[in-house]
C-alpha cells in the first residue's frame, strides 16, 4: 500500500469515518471509497463498482465484489455502531450491557443524577447534560440508534426532535399507544410531519410479549438489529 493511501486510511479510522479499502487482487492497485466523493488511489473504479462498495459499507461486509468480476476485494473499515439511550431507567440498565456485547458504543443520557450513576451503569458512557445538548455533542449519524425511555416529554421530546433531524438509522420511543399518539401531536405542533413519524418505532421494540425490563431490552435490541440488517 502506498504511504499516502495508508496515512489517509489511518486518519479515517482514527476519526471514525466509514471507509472501504478496495484492492485489485491481480495487480495490487488500491483505492479508498467513502460514503460520498470520488475514490482515492491508483485503482480506477466505475460507478457500478463504487455503488457496490458503498453497499458493502452499509452492510458491514468485507469480501469479493461481484461487480468486479471476482477480481476486487473490499475491506470495510466502519466505526462501531452507536446506541444513544435517553433515560437511566431499569430498561436501560439491561439494554446498555446487551448492546455493548452486540458491538454498540452505548451512551446513556439523563440529567437526573440520582438515576445516572456509574454504579448503576458500570463501564457505560454517562451523559449528565440535557438531551438536546447531549445530542448536539454526540451528533447521531447513519450508524446511530436513538431510544427514548423516560416517559417525560421534557427529556424525550428534545431527543426525538434531534434524532429526527439526523440520519440516525433507528429511532425508538417507549410508551403506550396513547402516549405515542400524544407524543406525535407535540411533534406535529413544532413542524414534524407524517414522514417523520414513520421513522419512529413507537411503542418501541418487537412484539414478543415482553414484561420485565430485561425482556423489554431484548425486544428493543431485536428490533434495532432487524432494522439495521434489513430483516
Q: What are 129-174's pLDDT values in tens digits?
A: 999 999 999 999 989 999 999 999 999 999 999 999 999 999 999 9
Reading the block at residue 65, the C-alpha cell is: 465484489
Q: Which residue did the predictor score with more confidence, 84 or 59?
A: 84
37-46 burial, b at 16+ Cβ within 10 Å, e below that, comes to eebbbebebe
Three-class HEC string of 44-90: CCCHHHHHHHHHHHHHCCCEECHHHCCCEEEEEECCCCEEEEECCCH
DSSP, collapsed to helix, strand or coil, labels residue 101 as helix
Q: What is the mean pLDDT of the chain?
A: 93
Q: How confident is the model at residue 69 (pLDDT cuts 50, 70, 90)?
A: low
Range in 64-68, 199-203, 214-218 with the lowest mean pLDDT: 64-68
Q: Which residue did the predictor score with more confidence, 230 or 207?
A: 207
pLDDT value at residue 70: 66
Q: How far, in Å, CA of 112 to CA of 69, rounded?
A: 56
pLDDT value at residue 193: 96
pLDDT exceeds 70 at position 209: yes
Amino acid at each position: 500500500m502506498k504511504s499516502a493511501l495508508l496515512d489517509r486510511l489511518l486518519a479515517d479510522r482514527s476519526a471514525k469515518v466509514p471507509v472501504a479499502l478496495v484492492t485489485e487482487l491481480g495487480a495490487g492497485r488500491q483505492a479508498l471509497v467513502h460514503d460520498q466523493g470520488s475514490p482515492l488511489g491508483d485503482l480506477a473504479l466505475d460507478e457500478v463498482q463504487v455503488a457496490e462498495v458503498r453497499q458493502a459499507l452499509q452492510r458491514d461486509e468485507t469480501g469479493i465484489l461481484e461487480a468486479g468480476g471476482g477480481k476486487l476485494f473490499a475491506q470495510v473499515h466502519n466505526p462501531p455502531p452507536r446506541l444513544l439511550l435517553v433515560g437511566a431507567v431499569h430498561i436501560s440498565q439491561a439494554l446498555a450491557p446487551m448492546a455493548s456485547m452486540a458491538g454498540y458504543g452505548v451512551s446513556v443520557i439523563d440529567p437526573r443524577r440520582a438515576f445516572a450513576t456509574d454504579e448503576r451503569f458500570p463501564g457505560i458512557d454517562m451523559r449528565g447534560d440535557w438531551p438536546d445538548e447531549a445530542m448536539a455533542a454526540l451528533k447521531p449519524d447513519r450508524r446511530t440508534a436513538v431510544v427514548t425511555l423516560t416517559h417525560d416529554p421534557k427529556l424525550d421530546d428534545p431527543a426525538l426532535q434531534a434524532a429526527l433531524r439526523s440520519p440516525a438509522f433507528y429511532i425508538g420511543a417507549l410508551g403506550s399507544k396513547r402516549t405515542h399518539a400524544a407524543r406525535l401531536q407535540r411533534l406535529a405542533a413544532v413542524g414534524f410531519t407524517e414522514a417523520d413519524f414513520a421513522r419512529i418505532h413507537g411503542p418501541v421494540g418487537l412484539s414478543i410479549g415482553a414484561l420485565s425490563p430485561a425482556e423489554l431490552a431484548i425486544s428493543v435490541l431485536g428490533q434495532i438489529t432487524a432494522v439495521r440488517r434489513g430483516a
